[in-house]
Amino acid sequence: MAHKVTVRINGSRYQAEVEPRTLLVHMLRDTLRLTGTHVGCVVGRCGACTVLWNDVPVKSCMVFAIQVENDEIVTVEGLKEGNELHPIQKAFWNHDAVECGYCTPGMLMASYGLLKNETNPTEEQIKRAISGNLCRCTGYRNIVEAIKDAAARMRAGEAGSAKQAV
């Protein structure tokens, strides 16, 4: 039996009809066509599907769509402002922290979840924040450097850094 879900995503109100077993990642991608969130393992291991749920990074394959009723979700589509990339996105670009890009939406959202609450994270905090996100390509070094750079950009007030989960 279909259930109606009402949820705010990236500041806009969405409604969807889903089955009780529908996963959040599938509602985002298949029903609402927000395909920036990637789907990989679907068992909570890879982190490609990471989004912010009420400001907390979660693996959206581990959440049923009906659980987010009336809540706030931020996906990778919500990071940029207009045509301006978020400082985290710019830092990933500048540090070559992207190769195939499959892990990237999840890495960006895990980083965003960290940097919203911790403006000057240690390398240890950065590594912990992305410890649930697998990357097969980069070896992680450039990703860690990009997150350090993103933190500095956000502290300096670079455009887009004031953006909050809406």
Interface residues with ligand FES (CB under 6 A) are 39-42, 44-49, 59, 61, 98-103, 135-138
Nearer to ligand FES (CB atom), residue 79 or residue 161:
79
Phi-psi region of 140 (alpha: psi -120 to 50; beta: other; left: phi over 0): left
Reduced to 3 states (helix: H, G, I; strand: E, B; else coil), residue 46 is coil
Sign of CA dihedral 79, 82, 88, 91: positive
In the bound complex, what is the minimum distance in angstroms from residue 119's beta carbon to ligand FES?
25
In the bound complex, what is the minimum distance in angstroms from residue 94's beta carbon to ligand FES?
15
Reduced to 3 states (helix: H, G, I; strand: E, B; else coil), residue 161 is coil
Nearer to ligand FES (CB atom), residue 148 or residue 158:
148
In the bound complex, what is the minimum distance in angstroms from residue 134's beta carbon to ligand FES?
7
In the bound complex, what is the minimum distance in angstroms from residue 50's beta carbon to ligand FES?
7
Cα–Cα distance for residue pair 38/118, rounded to 1 Å = 25
Nearer to ligand FES (CB atom), residue 64 or residue 159:
64
Nearer to ligand FES (CB atom), residue 138 or residue 161:
138
Beta strands 50-53; 56-59: pairing state: antiparallel
Task: Specify the DSSP class assigned to residue 75.
Answer: -
